[in-house]
Amino acid sequence: MNGAAFILISVLMLAGAFAAATLPNLMHAAFCFVLALLGLASFFFLLGAEFVGLALVFIYIGAVAVLIVFTILLTRRNSNEYHGINWSGVLIAGPVFGGLTWAVLKTQSVSIVPPHIQALTVKQIGQALMIGYVWPLQCVGLLLTAALIGALVLVMEEKR
Amino acid sequence: MSSALDQIFVNAKRWLLSWIAGAPDWMIQITSSLINIVALLAVFLTLFALMSVLERKILGRMQNRYGPNRVGPFGLFQPVADGIKMLIKEDIVPARADKVVHFLAPVVLAAVAILTLGVIPYGRNMTVFTIDGGILFFFAVGSATELAVFMAGWASNNKFSMLGAMRAIAQMFSYELPLIITVLPVVMIVGSLMPDSIVFAQGEYTLGIVPRWFVFTPWGAAAFILFFVSGLVESNRTPFDVPEGESEIVAGHMTEYSGFKYATFFMAEYLGMFAVSGLAVTLFLGGWHAPVRVLEFVPSYIWFFAKLSVLLFVYIWLRATLPRTRVDQMMNVAWKFMLPMAFTCVIAAAVWHYAGRGMRGWLWSLFVIVFVYSALSILLDTRRKFARRVYRFAE
């Protein structure tokens, strides 16, 4: 059953990703990108990593997708215009794809059946974050707060 | 006897599954899920139908007129008539609309609303799917609502729709923050993101009389009120129905929808309302626990739905009583009042925990909340006369 689910999700996700890269209408591409992200989250669910999957849905579909959609809406006048292939994008995407394929092919663990692993509970993740990794967490929090304040300063109205 | 009545639905499902006992494992899993889904849909679509007629009846009663009373006894068959009317109406799609996205928007919205209903425990052993991060699931899936509303507004290719969608997204984002942060104190105190364990944590009685629901602690009461108001905004109900605003932008993101698609939007809105109220019952009002130990023989699901209907009545009551808020005032309240108060609830819960969860902790956390509340009222200067409204873009 897991095999069937894997194939179904893969097809859905790859179709979404392909459509996101090729559709001429940017808004449609954004919606297809959401579909691809949904597939990614389902993979995490399939692997038993509920928390990561939920966080992915929460952050990417709830926030980042809306951000992308708004950016498209507010910046492009004619989002239907076709600009041809962006070669600099191909230059970056090609090596990244090649590197990832190489890494996946070199990895042994995919073919080995792992010993029985206990599923991570949310509590364990919370304890790890709050005890073991509390300083990195705080640093990231500080960085994000600084970014938030910076964004506020950028858009603040000047007193006349 | 009482426990048999309490578990009647659980046992019914077990009995149904015993019919296919010899089948392969995956078939039993799928059948089990299907039974859960059918039960959930049947209950909540019936509740939706009931709610739509009761809302009109109660609104009518509050405005000193009869509600619908022509179809069936006391007008109870009104939803059937409404449903038939919606089904046979012409489905109009604007010529310049994005056909596919226009069609998908109400579907996504309804799907999201139904998914969020799945994690709420409706009774003892009666959660549709139990996952470790149930609360997180609720908000993660619920956050896709904004995208669906945007799809509706954008695909309609209409200024009113786009404005309505923008308003909806602005208010949903602003109020999602207090909504999630007011859940934090409960999660902190219970130490779990699972709705079932949150309900279990509220099962005891202090002195044998007062139930240990979180709404009876100062931080819980404050968080409950904040959660309820934010939930009201999230479900676009009347004091905060700015996205629809009939008198300004026709019907917001639903302007270009007709017939059954419009009904689907309506249904999604109501299901979202049930989900948020159900979560409020789970988090603060003790879930399916009885308010007094003597009444524990009444089945758990009856208590859950009794509490849910009280909250739904308040929704209708507020709709009959309050006028629509202004957009800018609403946003100001979200960022300047609701958000600081939500953080205060987190701190007050911590104070309550470290002062021993007893009477002392109760008083200390009350002090924290009252202190911040008064400080906020002075800082925000609520008594000040409202300044004249200045129009910058429209004269």
- Residue to substitute from A26, A32, A58, interface B, most B β-carbons within 10 A: A58
Cβ-based neighbour number of residue B96 at 10 Å: 8
What's the rounded mean pLDDT across residues A14-37? 86
Q: CB A57 to CB B26 under 8 A? A: no
pLDDT in the model for residue A117: 63
Q: CB B132 to CB A28 under 8 A? A: no
What's the gap in Å between the CA of B63 and the closest CA on chain A? 39
pLDDT in the model for residue B376: 85
Report residue A143's pLDDT band, with 50, 70 and 90 as the boundaries: very high
Q: CB B154 to CB A73 under 8 A? A: yes
| CA dihedral over B262, B263, B264, B265, signed as positive or negative | positive
What's the rounded mean pLDDT across residues A21-45? 86
A27/B247: higher pLDDT: A27
Q: What is the DSSP annotation of B140-191?
A: HHHTHHHHHHHHHHHHTT-HHHHHHHHHHHHHHHHHHHHHHHTTHHHHHHHT
Q: Taking every pair of C-alpha atoms in chain B, what is the biggest distance, in angstroms? A: 75
Query: Rounded to an integer, what distance in angstroms lies between the CA atom of residue A110 and that of residue A104?
Result: 9
Along the 395 residues of chain B, how does pLDDT read in single tens digits?
457 777 777 777 778 877 777 777 778 888 888 888 888 889 888 899 888 888 888 888 888 888 888 887 887 888 888 888 888 888 888 888 888 888 888 999 999 988 898 888 888 877 888 888 888 889 888 888 888 888 888 888 888 888 888 888 888 888 888 999 999 999 888 888 888 888 888 877 777 677 888 888 888 889 999 999 998 888 888 788 877 767 777 777 888 888 888 888 888 889 989 999 999 999 888 888 888 777 777 788 888 889 999 999 999 999 888 888 888 788 888 888 888 999 999 998 888 888 877 788 888 888 888 888 888 888 877 666 666 667 776 65
| CA dihedral over B229, B261, B140, B157, signed as positive or negative | negative
Contact B245, B177 (CB under 8 A): no
Q: Which residues in B lie closer than 8 A to residue A61 (C-beta atoms)?
A: 140, 143-144, 147
Q: CB A57 to CB B192 under 8 A? A: no
**Residue B394 corresponds to which tokens in the numbers above?**
């429209």
**Residue B79 corresponds to which tokens in the numbers above?**
């939803």
CB contacts < 8 A, A to B, total 58
The amino acid present at A142, given as its one-letter code, is L
The closest alpha carbon to B269, from B315, B320, B301, belongs to B315
What's the rounded mean pLDDT across residues A82-92? 77
Cβ-based neighbour number of residue B105 at 10 Å: 29
Q: CB B101 to CB A28 under 8 A? A: yes
Q: CB B101 to CB A63 under 8 A? A: no
Distances (CA, A) of B280 to A92, B136, B225, B231, B296: 48, 14, 10, 9, 21
Distances (CA, A) of B232 to A158, B51, B172, B272: 35, 16, 10, 10
Residues in chain B: 395
Alpha-carbon torsion angle B250, B253, B258, B261, nearest 10: -150
ipTM of the complex: 0.76
Q: Which residues in A lie closer than 8 A to residue B144 (C-beta atoms)?
A: 57, 61-62
Among all chains, which residue has been given the structure tokens 């849910």? B308
pLDDT in the model for residue B1: 45
pTM over the 0.80 mark: yes
Give the 3-state secondary structure of B57-106: HHHHHHCCCCCCCCCCHHHCCHHHHHHHHHHHCCCCCCCCCCHHHHHHHH
Q: Which residues in B lie closer than 8 A to residue A34 (C-beta atoms)?
A: 147
The closest alpha carbon to A33, from A11, A55, A15, belongs to A15
